[in-house]
């Protein structure tokens, strides 16, 4: 075969190959409008006792496409309306790893995505009641800093302090107040569920706030990997929150600062919405021990899961139904 013929054949093969490639459909990157994250599920994703993700799965993701992202396994569900959701895992380490993994997956476009965290929390009986839902306007890590046991220090002295050693960036994260206020406005008329058992349990507490019916509130959400409990721990949390100039906390949980740091790292902090539903008081009532309080069944878990979903659902619908307005322009109050 002469050189000219050989080159002609090679050229024809290349043209045929390029034509075949051009005929193959190009995989499009899926734009995500809202990413909703819960931290855990009790059993299955549908049809049984609901944890933090089940109500969202049944409303948005039953039959939707699913993608396994890592070995946890971290499964991301994506529906045809651009809403995505996942169970991120409990605690700061797992939460931050999951959100980072999701936002860096090249199969999806998170350029304009709003991140909505929806999970359960504890609350001081002086500030609210079982079944409340709180939209956070700031996140505080109760563990970052320097601390010591009270028994190792003179009586009446402090047991914690903060130093400017780089803690502030992760320790105190102000959220987009205008977005939080807008989210509150979208959900303020949602009828929150209540439960007779929860009402009976909160009657054990003497404060007016503790005995009220569930309502929507705003305030700081404090993060700690340990599931702490008790009046002393609550007072310590207030000391930490106040040290950042943020007054008193509203709810306690185990992940929000981790999500906040990732959102900050990925340039998404202005689009982060944190919704926390109250399923327990973070301290016992008079005559009850801390361990008894931790083990008590208050009747608030199911209404918390439902109320957190109802509030989050109202916010998600407001964003998605007005996507032409909010895709590029973050909502303001």
pLDDT in tens, 110-125: 999 999 999 999 999 9
Query: For the segment 179-228, what is each residue's pLDDT rounded down to a tens digit?
Result: 999 999 999 999 999 999 999 999 999 899 999 999 999 999 999 998 88
Question: Topology of domain 28-326, per CATH?
Answer: Rossmann fold (3.40.50)
Smallest CA-to-CA distance from 212 within 298, 308, 130 is with: 130
Element (H, E) at 101: helix 92-103
Is the four-CA dihedral 225, 230, 234, 239 of positive or negative sign? negative
- Residue 21 pLDDT > 90, yes or no? no
Is 279:122 a contact under the CB 8 Å cutoff?
yes
Instruction: Measure the CA–CA gap between 225 and 42, rounded to whole angstroms.
Output: 19
pTM for the complete prediction? 0.88
**4 exposed, middle or buried (CB, 10 Å; 0-12, 13-18, 19+)?**
exposed
The length of the chain in residues reads 333
Domain positions in the chain: 28-326
């Amino acid at each position: 075969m002469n050189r000219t013929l050989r080159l002609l054949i090679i050229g024809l093969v290349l043209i045929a190959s390029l034509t075949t490639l051009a005929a193959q459909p190009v995989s499009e990157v899926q734009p995500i409008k809202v990413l909703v994250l819960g931290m855990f599920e009790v059993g299955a994703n549908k049809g049984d006792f609901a944890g933090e993700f089940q109500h969202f799965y049944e409303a948005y993701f039953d039959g939707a496409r699913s993608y396994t992202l890592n070995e946890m396994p971290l499964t991301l569900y994506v529906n045809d309306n651009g809403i995505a959701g996942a169970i991120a895992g409990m605690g700061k380490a797992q939460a931050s790893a999951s959100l980072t993994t999701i936002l860096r997956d090249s199969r999806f476009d998170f350029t304009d995505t709003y991140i909505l965290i929806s999970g359960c929390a504890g609350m001081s009986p002086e500030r609210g009641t079982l079944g409340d839902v709180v939209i956070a306007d700031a996140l505080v890590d109760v563990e970052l800093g320097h601390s010591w046991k009270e028994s190792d220090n003179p009586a009446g002295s402090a047991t914690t302090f903060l130093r400017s050693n780089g803690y502030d960036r992760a320790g105190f994260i102000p959220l987009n107040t205008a977005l939080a206020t807008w989210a509150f406005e979208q959900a303020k008329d949602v009828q929150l569920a209540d439960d007779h058992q929860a009402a009976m349990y909160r009657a054990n507490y003497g404060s007016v706030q503790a005995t009220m019916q569930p309502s929507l509130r705003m305030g700081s959400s404090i993060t700690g990997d340990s599931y702490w409990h008790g009046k002393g721990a609550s007072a310590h949390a207030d000391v930490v929150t106040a040290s950042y100039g943020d007054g008193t906390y509203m709810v306690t949980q185990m992940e929000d600062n981790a999500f906040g740091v990732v959102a900050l790292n990925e340039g998404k902090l202005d689009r982060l919405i944190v919704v926390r539903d109250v399923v327990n008081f973070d301290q016992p009532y008079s005559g009850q021990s801390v361990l008894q309080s931790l083990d008590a069944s208050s009747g608030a878990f199911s209404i918390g899961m439902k109320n957190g979903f109802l509030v989050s659902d109202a916010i998600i619908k407001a964003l998605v139904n007005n996507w032409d307005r909010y895709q590029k322009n973050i909502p303001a109050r």
